[in-house]
Amino acid sequence: MPKRKVLHYDAFSSIANMGNPAGVVLEADDLDEKSMQAIAEKVGFNETVFITSSKKADFRLRYFTPGHEINLCGHATIASMYCLKTLGLLQNKDSITIETNVGNLPISFANRKGDLFITMKQDQPRFIPYHGSISALADSMGLPEETIDISKPIVYGSTGTWTLLIPIKGLDPFARMCPNNEMFPEVLRENPRSSIHPFCIETMDRNAFMHARHFSSPYSGTKEDAITGTASGVMGAYYLTYLNENSEAADFFVEQGQEIGRDGRVHVQVIRNESKMDVYISGTGVFVQEFEVQYP
């Protein structure tokens, strides 16, 4: 069987084995979709990103869970851009454009207090109301129904990847969450391939504004995402859409991963632009290791 070199980077943390792990495969033009999927399955991370050439942008990125391809992944983008920049593969550029399945997106690089931070723009936010059972939704997370904060909207949100945003009453329920991912397609009837993203506006870190966990669709082949870039970005758009409709911008940090020992931070910035919102997320990364996988 052929072998492929995979670079393991952790995104949204500068400490190895914190944040969110991603597999990065460089110079992947020779790989077809079937091979990419097989490699991602062997790697086993929530996402593996394949960097190929592009006629429309500086690079094309394709993202695969162990189960299927997804259109956009925040943490794998941050990881792969950190990889390219620190390996000197960007000719000292401070900004580039990447081609993704949701279109071309700008990427910029900056140093913050000695750490390299990558900023990516996400797709325009979209929301769909959730009309399913609140009781069944709570049960799918292993929680009593009263822990869900129904004073705030429960909605599917996307800035490139769909997730169900579920407001929770405070931090305490997060440590007790025990998801039954196999229930999700039946509970999420409007969007059965969606993940779910419980969050609250109470944090462990006083410098963060929102706390969250992220439970994967059963079709993805994983259970939980440690710290989620696309969902963090759409939480910023959620905040301006439903919680602070009069504000022109949002700028805050999201914390995630503490319950599973993968503490990380996402910097979220959202700016109203007439009838649209421009959504940006930023984070750093760290190289962990290089390994090879065999694939059919």
- Choose the catalytic residue: 27, 33, 41, 47: 47
Instruction: Please classify residue 59 by burial: count the beta carbons closer than 10 Å to its beta carbon, then call 0-12 exposed, 13-18 middle and 19+ buried.
Output: buried
Rounded-to-integer distance, Cα 197 and Cα 219, Å: 16
CA atoms lying within 13 Å on the CB side of residue 186: 8
CB 132 within 8 A of CB 189: yes
Task: Decide if pLDDT at 125 tops 90.
Answer: yes
Taking only the tens place, the pLDDT of each residue in 66-76 is 999 999 999 99
- For the residues 100-111, what does the mean pLDDT come to? 97
- For the residues 97-124, what does the mean pLDDT come to? 97
pLDDT confidence band for 185 (50 / 70 / 90): very high
CA atoms lying within 13 Å on the CB side of residue 187: 24
CA-closest candidate to residue 252, choices 289, 211, 293: 211
- Respond yes or no: is residue 47 known to be catalytic: yes
Mean pLDDT in the chain?
A: 97
Please report the pLDDT score of residue 176 as a whole number: 98
**Residue in this structure with the two tokens 């500086």, named with its chain if needed:** 58
Residues pairing with 198 in the sheet = 166
- For the residues 263-286, what does the mean pLDDT come to? 96
Please report the pLDDT score of residue 219 as a whole number: 97
Taking only the tens place, the pLDDT of each residue in 27-55 is 999 999 999 999 999 999 999 999 999 99
Taking only the tens place, the pLDDT of each residue in 245-269 is 999 999 999 999 999 999 999 999 9
CA atoms lying within 13 Å on the CB side of residue 276: 7
Radius of gyration of the chain (CA): 18
Q: Which two tokens stand for residue 111?
A: 């140093």
- For the residues 122-142, what does the mean pLDDT come to? 98
- For the residues 110-116, what does the mean pLDDT come to? 95
Please report the pLDDT score of residue 196 as a whole number: 98
CA-closest candidate to residue 277, choices 232, 231, 229, 241: 241
pLDDT confidence band for 275 (50 / 70 / 90): confident
Rounded-to-integer distance, Cα 285 and Cα 295, Å: 27
CA-closest candidate to residue 277, choices 128, 122, 161, 164: 122
